Amino acid sequence: MAVMLRTLGVPSRVAVGFFPGDYDDSQEQYVYIQRNAHAWVEVFFPGYGWIPFEPTSARPMIEEGNVGTSLPSTPPPADEPFATEAIATPDPATQDVPPLAPARATPADGDDEGGWLLPAGLAGLVLGGVLLTGWAMWTLPLRGLSSTSALYKRLTALGRLVGLRPTPSATPREFGRSLGQSVPQAREHVSRIVQVYEVDQFGPNRANPRMLTEASHAWLNLRRNAWRWLFRRNRA
């Protein structure tokens, strides 16, 4: 979880510690063993600091600062008796009693201003997981390919969004022509990528740096405008 968040640029860290141990009456202390060891993820939200996320669903969230609340509260016996000397008490009628301050309204449980933080954090994690999955599906198939092959592979992935799949009998130029007809705004950029791919794969010489740069710029324009063009196409 922490690694996934860091790949998306979200500050995160892994904290280690222990779940509350069992109190041993005979030893008058808490006993911690190996099964109490635990690790959890903390995510940094600007303005709120580090927020812990409990990855183990069977475990409750650890409440910090409450360890000492379950300790025995019986006071030890006094070694000496209390003094029996009479202490004069002031007359209540002669004391200046300040007026009571108005009671401050306490917010209800559902009105906590920070109550939205946890749902927002979980929604952010879900969105991050979706983005990371999409990035992996888009990038991993391109490993080991040349620059022009990777560009053409991305072009075929874009074609699948409009229902076009390159058939074994179709040439790259035929596929590019079909894609340009389906998305006219992308025709020039598609043609540039297909042209460089054909030169690099089937020509006597490899594509030169200028052609590779032009093809890369064409893909950047496609990626920048693809969703807008596809949206217009679907509306039409």
Hey, where are the domains in the chain? 1-57, 139-235
* pLDDT over 70 (residue 140): no
How much is the mean pLDDT over the chain?
A: 72
Residue 177 has a CB neighbour count (10 Å cut-off) of 16
* Ramachandran region, residue 9 (left: φ > 0; alpha: ψ -120 to 50; beta: rest): left
Q: For residues 59 and 73, what is the distance between their CA atoms, to the nearest angstrom?
A: 27
Q: CA 210 → CA 109, 128, 214, distances in Å?
A: 64, 36, 6
The residue-averaged pLDDT of 101-122 equals: 58
Pair 40, 52: CB distance under 8 Å: yes
* pLDDT over 80 (residue 188): yes
* pLDDT over 80 (residue 157): yes
Q: Each residue of 51-70: pLDDT tens digit?
A: 887 766 555 555 555 444 44
pLDDT band for position 71 (cuts 50, 70, 90): very low
* pLDDT over 60 (residue 141): no
Share of the chain above pLDDT 70, in %: 61
Residue 30 has a CB neighbour count (10 Å cut-off) of 16
Report the predicted TM-score, pTM, of the whole model to 2 decimal places.
0.41
The residue-averaged pLDDT of 125-153 equals: 66
